[in-house]
């Protein structure tokens, strides 16, 4: 193989790569927080809500979990403007990511909620705790403690899936890489660097979620 590696053009564009990386981080963290909120509400509604609400949430979850993320992204960016709802690429990408994560995480959280023994809930009610206090303190926190590894994996997958938003011209890391490739034609070098950046982001997110688990969800040390 006579290929000559030339990383000079890639490293010269580090401000653009840094900007794209920052946008990817912003998108991923914002979508994680908002998507988790959506998931908790959906999980609560599916386990404790009225029948009509359970049906609506179930339909939403099945729709999102059984359609490609790319199609969902196109729906928010290309289809909704037909009825007058226009979003910037960044906003459309964020909404699509939140909606997608909300559906997947809702089922994970629902499984955690249903794993909590009924006796604990009855004990909370017997102590005159309000229903929302029982849900937050007795149901949700132990459920999150049990399912957090699965949730963290879903969050990291969402960050990696954010590369798809480049197809609607959102200025994320993959979009920056595609623009650099069209200018420099150094595809191999560019995507080696971008692969390493995504790997570093995945490891950083994993470390962050592990820290959050230890800080907020671990059992207290009784020694």
14, two tokens: 């580090």
Among 26, 10, 18, CA closest to 162: 26
Tell me, what's the pLDDT at 112? 92
- Taking each helix axis from N to C end, the angle separating 141-161 and 89-114, rounded to the nearest 10 degrees, works out to 150
Distances (CA, A) of 126 to 18, 118, 119, 122, 135: 54, 12, 10, 6, 14
Tell me, what's the pLDDT at 202? 96
Which regions of the chain are under pLDDT 50?
none
Tell me, what's the pLDDT at 158? 94
Would you give the end-to-end CA distance of the chain in angstroms? 61
The single residue listed with the structure tokens 């053009």 is 9
Neighbours of 70 (CB within 10 A): 14
Superfamily of domain 8-217: MetI-like (1.10.3720.10)
Q: How does pLDDT run across 148-190, given as a tens digit for each residue? A: 999 999 999 999 999 999 999 888 999 999 999 999 888 999 9
Among 157, 154, 133, 138, CA closest to 36: 154
Q: Rounded to an integer, what is the distance from CA 216 to the centroid of its chain?
A: 19
Tell me, what's the pLDDT at 221? 53
The answer, as to whether pTM is greater than 0.75, is yes
Tell me, what's the pLDDT at 200? 97
Tell me, what's the pLDDT at 125? 81
């Amino acid at each position: 193989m006579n290929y000559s590696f030339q990383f000079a053009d890639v490293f010269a564009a580090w401000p653009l790569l840094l900007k794209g990386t920052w946008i990817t981080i912003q998108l991923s963290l914002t979508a994680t927080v908002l998507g988790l909120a959506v998931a908790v509400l959906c999980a609560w509604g599916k386990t404790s809500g009225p029948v009509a609400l359970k049906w609506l949430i179930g339909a939403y979850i099945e729709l999102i979990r059984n359609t490609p993320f790319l199609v969902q992204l196109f729906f928010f960016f290309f289809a909704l403007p037909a009825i007058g709802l226009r979003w910037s690429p960044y906003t459309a990408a964020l909404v699509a990511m939140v909606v997608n994560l909300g559906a997947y995480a809702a089922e994970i959280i629902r499984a955690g909620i249903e794993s909590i023994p009924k006796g604990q809930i009855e004990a909370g009610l017997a102590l005159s705790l309000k229903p929302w206090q029982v849900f937050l303190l007795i149901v949700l926190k132990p459920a999150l403690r049990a399912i957090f590894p699965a949730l963290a994996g879903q969050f990291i997958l969402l960050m990696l899936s954010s590369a798809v938003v480049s197809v609607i011209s959102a200025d994320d890391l993959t979009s920056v890489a595609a623009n650099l490739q069209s200018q420099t034609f150094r595809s191999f070098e560019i995507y080696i660097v971008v692969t390493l950046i995504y790997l570093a982001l995945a490891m950083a997110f994993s470390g962050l979620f592990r820290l959050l688990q230890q800080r907020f969800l671990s059992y207290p040390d009784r020694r």
